[in-house]
Chain A
């Protein structure tokens, strides 16, 4: 990861309406930070899913528990972290939403969407500090081909 260019941090109470707020802010902030519209849209949807999980499943809609979102732009990628104050969970226990037996189940697509829309997704947990789940999302701002083409062109 190259030199950090910019950073945006937001802290919200665990309310439904704040999920939408973060979505709107994330897309605008990422475009402002230099991400393309498509990258910003995809990353904002991934952030929405992570924040919705934090608000609903992590903090269980307890407004006094916060979800922290940090967006950092580097030269070649954007990194977003979403942290809640919940109990954490086992990502491996989330059923595969593409399995035939799960296609018609209503839940389980949020983490899959994050993994599909972003280049890197990792979960970490730290119950001892009272900060539950940390989701780290990364997205390259340009593909390797685009980067090579730009360099070839001067």
Chain B
């Protein structure tokens, strides 16, 4: 899995591209979130539109990222969930944990 990051209005937008699975994308996401926090950036959006697969380990990384950011005094929100990812997060009731947006403008504005 590849991951790109950019900043908009002081908010870090992380965009993983590929599979978020055990031993494949989970460590990439973990390292990226930790790097943002280490740099003092704790307002994060995870744009998941290019995530093609997720399993329980991928979900665990999303939950861990959410908790780490929160513990650092920040907020992590999700953007553009593919149907398959939304379905899996739904059955595990994680949709109730995250703020989820379909539109980047709205997601960025929600931090104001």
Contact = CB atoms under 8 A, between A and B. Distances in A.
Pair from one complex: yes
A97 interface: yes
A106 B92 contact: no
A107 B56 CA distance: 8
Contacts of B91: 113, 116
Interface in B83-107: 84, 88, 91-94, 96-97
A48 interface: yes
Nearest to B94: A103
Nearest to B66: A104
B5 interface: no
A97 B67 contact: no
Interface stretch (B9-17, B21-29, B33-41, B72-80): B21-29
Contacts, number: 54
B55 interface: yes
B3 interface: no
For the side of the interface on A, what is the size category? 20 to 34
B66 A113 contact: no
Which of A16, A45, A109 has most chain B Cβ within 10 Å? A109
Interface in B48-85: 55-57, 59-61, 63-64, 66-67, 84
24 contacts: A19-B23, A20-B23, A20-B24, A23-B21, A41-B84, A45-B55, A45-B88, A48-B21, A49-B55, A52-B22, A52-B56, A97-B92, A103-B93, A103-B94, A104-B66, A104-B67, A104-B97, A106-B60, A106-B63, A107-B60, A109-B60, A110-B55, A112-B92, A113-B56
Interface of B: 21-24, 55-57, 59-61, 63-64, 66-67, 84, 88, 91-94, 96-97
Interface of A: 16-17, 19-20, 23, 41, 45, 48-49, 52, 56, 97-98, 103-107, 109-110, 112-113, 116
